[in-house]
Chains A and B, each alone.
Chain A
Amino acid sequence: MGNDSFAASMPSGANDKFTRREFVRGAAAFTASAIAGGDAIVAAKKNATAQVVTPSSDPQVPKRLLGKTGAEVSALGVGGYHLGSTKDQQEANQLVAKALDAGITFFDNAWDYHQGLSEERLGTALQGKRDQAFVMTKVCTHGRGKDVAMQMLEQSLRRLQTDHLDLWQIHEVIYYNDPDLIFRPGGAAEALLEAKKQGKVRFIGFTGHKDPAIHLRMLAHDFPFDTVQMPLNAFDATFRSFETQVVPEANKRGIAVLGMKSLGGSGEMVRHGAITAQEGLQYAMSLPVATTISGMDSIGVLEQNLEVARGFQPMSAADMQALRDRVRIYAADGRYELFKTSKKYDGDVGREQHHYPTPQKLPA
């Protein structure tokens, strides 16, 4: 409290040359630096690339039930955005192959990640291995109707080089009028049902990073969602919390919870020393979720995550509470979860479709 703690806390702001533009375009680099730290990153990456062969004695990433669907997915999932940030297709191939070897089956993606590059990289990397993977992608209608959604589905399937998705989710449900737009006659919800009926997708869900109240409103429609994706981390537990408001409701309904942003999306919380990368991932994976999706743009980051995920043992309830309590003071103003508050993290296309001014036109 008081001015002393203010003085002590100032340098963290001053030292960070971190802007939200970097967050959007290069979050991967921060995840890497969060784990490896400073100049060690480059060396770590080189080493990691050299040792792609995993000793067969290593335990696998465990599988979990995907809600009441009966399907099983790996407890750790590979995030699609960062897959598009790998340096080339070869690195993406290696990353996906290594993930599969370690027992990871869950692969996230979205129609609009890197203008389709993320889906293309995953499609190519999974050539001949499609059956081993649980492939999810997201549809980016942002309020537009069923027809747009069905066109996007065909494009996604083509880029992913497959005839079906294991999971298709509505992307970026983050505005208070989104549930109305999605469930209106001719809206995107109808596309989900249609695609399922046609056998093009096995399961359906939605995702968003903004507000637990909006997720709850989506769930209140009693639509047969199989999954729901949301930010889950130790900071979320005490700030506009998906963990306390949405997870219990999804669990009650047998809807599989997919966690994301275990390190806040940018890894800034790790770089500032508020939490370690290992603690962050461990916490997220210990929640009652089907999987935790983590962005990995290099073999090095995958390796770091695998150290936590192989043969994963959940944290005890007491350890989880101790961690929540420890980070509470950093969580209370939401600065490590700006995606819940600031407009800066809203996708431009989504804002445009909703007729909202772009973040650049807003007074911060």
Chain B
Amino acid sequence: MRPFGKHTDVRISILGMGGHHLGDAKDEPTAVALVREAVDGGITFFDNCWEYHRGKSEVLLGKGLKGHRASVFLMTKVCTHGRDGSLAMQMLEESLNRLQTDHLDLWQAHGVGFENDPGLFMRPGGAAEAMLKAKEQGKVRFLGFTGHKDPAIHLSMLNTDFPFDAVQMPLNAFDATFHSFQTQVLPELNRRGIAALGMKPMSGHGEPIQNGAVTAEEALRYAMSLPVATTITGMEKPDILRQNLRIAQNFQAMVASEMRALEDRVKDVAADGHFELYKVSLKFDNPEARMAHGFPLDMESEEVQEMVAAVQNTGHPYPEIPK
């Protein structure tokens, strides 16, 4: 357990359960069992998002946490993607309903990844106003934002001086030397007492592990050894959950020299970003976010075809993928 940023009276588990992968579990009983086993294993931090699997992830988590709500720290994300605060409030009610609770511990603006997002978030009538209102109403305890794209965009969100309690970002050994959140954003969060939430310790879908560049244990231990409040990772199968619980339960932080050695070892394969495509490829722009921004889904683009094929988290119809 670690303190939640400057709110040192609030403590959260060093390993957090990712909400998107929960929707990838093979069926509902499996998902519910995964959540219960996570709680029993000492995980208190649960991630989710209004648009994951079109709401299925929140519904599954709500079912899994039945009877355990009071003992966990529940986060979900709002998916306005630049749209109005009134839409954010509607999404909040839907999330609370699906999660079977009357309040969230943390509510974050999802997928801040475009250069104009900070301006859209802060504009009069934008999502920032909704967040403050939700907090005032007691429906959420803490506020934050998340994004996987660009450290510079995270920094410009921070420069709005909105009272964020938490910020989520990709943190792993590859990030250390490529377009780095660790070197550019993490120190600023630590300075401000904002809780840093790491994600993608295995680079999203474990590509560098399958490829042999790092082991799962190295990857997770590295991410958890950074100055973060928690590390969120997706676990859609019992064996993955058990593996991660074992690593977290026996966790010993890497010493600085061990961390440097791992960074150096992966530096050359990290240098083009192919293990961190979420920072560069359009493929990882959620179509919902692009549509909300009025950015085109150019179906001639291979990245866009992959994006549309890869995600299933919008209520909008997608264009046909050309064969």
Contacts and interface: CB of A to CB of B under 8 A. Distances in A.
B215 interface: no
B82 A1 contact: yes
20 contacts: A9-B294, A12-B298, A13-B296, A13-B297, A13-B299, A17-B300, A20-B302, A177-B177, A329-B294, A332-B117, A335-B298, A341-B280, A342-B281, A343-B281, A354-B268, A355-B268, A356-B269, A363-B306, A364-B302, A364-B306
Contacts of B116: 328-329, 332
Nearest to A239: B115
Contacts of A8: 294
Interface of B: 82-84, 114-117, 120, 150, 152, 177-179, 267-274, 277, 280-283, 285, 290-307, 316, 319
Contacts of B283: 363-364
Contacts of A310: none
B295 to A, nearest CB: 5
A323 B243 CA distance: 53
Nearest to A179: B271
Contacts of A211: 179
Contacts of A20: 301-302
A13 B298 contact: yes
Interface string A318-359: 000000000011011111001001111010000100111100
B305 A364 contact: yes
Contacts of A364: 277, 281-283, 302-303, 305-307
B271 A177 contact: yes
B3 to A, nearest CB: 32
Nearest to B267: A177
Contacts of A342: 280-282, 303
B271 A335 contact: no
Contacts of B294: 1-2, 5-6, 8-9, 329
Contacts of B271: 175-178, 354
B298 A332 contact: no
Give the top 7 A-B pairs by smallest Cβ distance, nearest first: A5-B294, A13-B298, A364-B306, A177-B271, A176-B271, A13-B296, A332-B116
B299 A6 contact: no
Contacts, number: 129
A357 B273 CA distance: 11
B297 to A, nearest CB: 6
A57 interface: no
Interface in A110-145: none
A2 B294 CA distance: 7
A335 B293 CA distance: 13
A18 interface: yes
B281 A18 contact: no
Given A1-B83, A176-B178, A333 B272 contact: no
Of the candidates A238, A341, A356, the one having the most CB atoms from chain B within 10 angstroms of its own CB is: A341
A178 B271 CA distance: 8
B306 to A, nearest CB: 4
Contacts of B306: 363-364
Interface in A299-330: 328-329
Given A2-B83, A332-B114, A343-B274, 5 more contacts: A1-B292, A13-B300, A176-B179, A346-B272, A357-B274
Contacts of A357: 274
A362 interface: yes
B319 A356 contact: no
B115 A335 contact: no
Contact of A333 (B267, B295, B299): B295
Nearest to B297: A13
Nearest to B298: A13
Contacts of B282: 333-335, 338, 341-342, 364
A299 to B, nearest CB: 30
Contact of B296 (A3, A10, A344): A10
Contact of B293 (A332, A346, A356): A332
B319 A10 contact: yes
